[in-house]
Chains A and B, each alone.
Chain A
């Protein structure tokens, strides 16, 4: 236990996540003091994840199924390192690239070109690496001369295209996908799917969240089901998808 075996790329051990939600949101000092004096500062505990464990090896492609509020996004955020779990731990080997809400890290006043450097730095790339890959990123994004225009003048599709191009320029060991297979227009969507498929063929580990069972079946070889924060099923993708369909029909 606790030792990462050679081909294990991701190990999630007994991860639980608790949120302390205030019954009414208090986010200024004035409200806080008033509520404190009136003794109305009540917190409500809410477990978004409860004791979730699984292990992925190199090349495993895991589909994460579950209804809204099942804890899928929380799990992805914990794996990406954005959230720290209340209990348990996550051990990952190698570079994790999260393709979540592409372009969320852009500065709207900055031009596309400047944002390539900024967003690249956020993702942990070095300056030399970005210099080297700059042309490739611009070419893939198909932004052309728009690359020197501030991002605030971009359409949402253009932003997503640029975000996708920057995030996928590295070859990650672990890729986190949150239904981003619909980037931009039909033409770019095909291109981005092709790019993702080529990454998959290189044997990277993938975590894929989707509501579409078809997509999960097409992309993944393993799957888990989350229900109200608990892991209720895991195993081969076909088996788990079947369980999921049955559960859906029951309710």
Chain B
């Protein structure tokens, strides 16, 4: 354990450099730069609000905030896991020549996406005032689902990064799977007993939905859902532990497959 920590300390500078590189290169070639991170969720939220609120007549006055909060969390999860999945192959040149702890590639990828995600939360914060939402002390609870989201992302990202080394076509499968996750995360609808009946428990199987739910509770000033909190803690740490073990068991075989 202490060896692991020493190792981490030694490569902390590399971790920072890799995160910086991801973020820098992402915005280097776009004129809007980091502004794009703020603009993009606003535009998609406008579209979703128009379709589901305007055309289908769902939701109320604060529906855009509801959509935005779900969408921001989902797009972090989707974007970061996709990028982490490709991270080992993308850095194969480096992995084959110089010794660097390999977990640093999926880990830095998730972290750089997380930094960008945190910046994009500024939009949500601004929307709270635009839509005149009563911000209470409950908002501090938002930190808990946000942290669990990061842990879940790292765990799933490590699992995918490992699998993708052996199976190139996993990318396509994961995209399809992400579509299922998106539609079951209640980004643009409400989950209640009246529309889903007995099947409402199925939503407990989607950790992302539960994280989004508690995040919304915090944002809208309602108390945190303890059951969802417990479940998401189990999901997040469970995936992290599985991810780490799986990655460490397979990492010596990476080099022969990339």
Q: Which residues of A contact B (CB under 8 A)?
A: 19-20, 27-30, 32, 77, 80-84, 98, 100-101, 104-105, 107, 109-110, 114, 117-118, 121-127
| Residue among B100, B167, B257 making CB contact with A122, cutoff 8 Å | B100
- On whether the beta carbons of A122 and B13 are closer than 8 Å, the reply is no
- On whether the beta carbons of A105 and B98 are closer than 8 Å, the reply is yes
- On whether the beta carbons of B10 and A82 are closer than 8 Å, the reply is no
Residue of A nearest to B258 (CB): A27
- Majority secondary structure of chain B interface residues (helix, strand, loop or mixed): helix
- On whether the beta carbons of A29 and B170 are closer than 8 Å, the reply is yes
Q: Given A29-B167, A82-B255, A126-B13: A101 and B97 within 8 A (CB)?
A: yes
Residue of B nearest to A105 (CB): B94
Complex Cα distance, B92 from A82, in Å, reads 11
Residue of B nearest to A101 (CB): B97
| Residue among A104, A125, A127 making CB contact with B97, cutoff 8 Å | A104
Contacts of B38 in A (CB 8 A): none
| B11 is an interface residue with CB less than 8 A from chain A | yes
Closest CB-CB distance, B85 to chain A, in whole Å?
13
- On whether the beta carbons of B21 and A107 are closer than 8 Å, the reply is yes
Closest CB-CB distance, A212 to chain B, in whole Å?
22
- On whether the beta carbons of A27 and B17 are closer than 8 Å, the reply is no
| Residue among A32, A98, A105, A125 making CB contact with B93, cutoff 8 Å | A105
- On whether the beta carbons of B168 and A27 are closer than 8 Å, the reply is yes
* Mask of B181-206 contacts with A, CB within 8 angstroms, 1/0: 00000000000000000000000000
- On whether the beta carbons of B256 and A122 are closer than 8 Å, the reply is no
Tell me the residues in window 112-128 of chain B with beta carbons closer than 8 Å to chain A beta carbons.
none
Contacts of B11 in A (CB 8 A): 121, 124
Residue of A nearest to B165 (CB): A27
8 of the cross-chain contacts (CB-CB < 8 Å) are A27-B257, A28-B170, A29-B167, A77-B96, A82-B97, A82-B98, A84-B252, A101-B97
Tell me the residues in window 93-117 of chain B with beta carbons closer than 8 Å to chain A beta carbons.
93-100
| Residue among B14, B16, B100, B256 making CB contact with A19, cutoff 8 Å | B256
Residue of A nearest to B167 (CB): A29
- On whether the beta carbons of A117 and B97 are closer than 8 Å, the reply is no
17 further interface pairs, Cβ-Cβ under 8 Å (given A28-B170, A121-B13): A20-B256, A27-B167, A27-B168, A27-B257, A28-B167, A28-B168, A77-B96, A82-B96, A82-B99, A83-B252, A98-B98, A104-B93, A105-B97, A118-B17, A118-B21, A122-B100, A126-B13
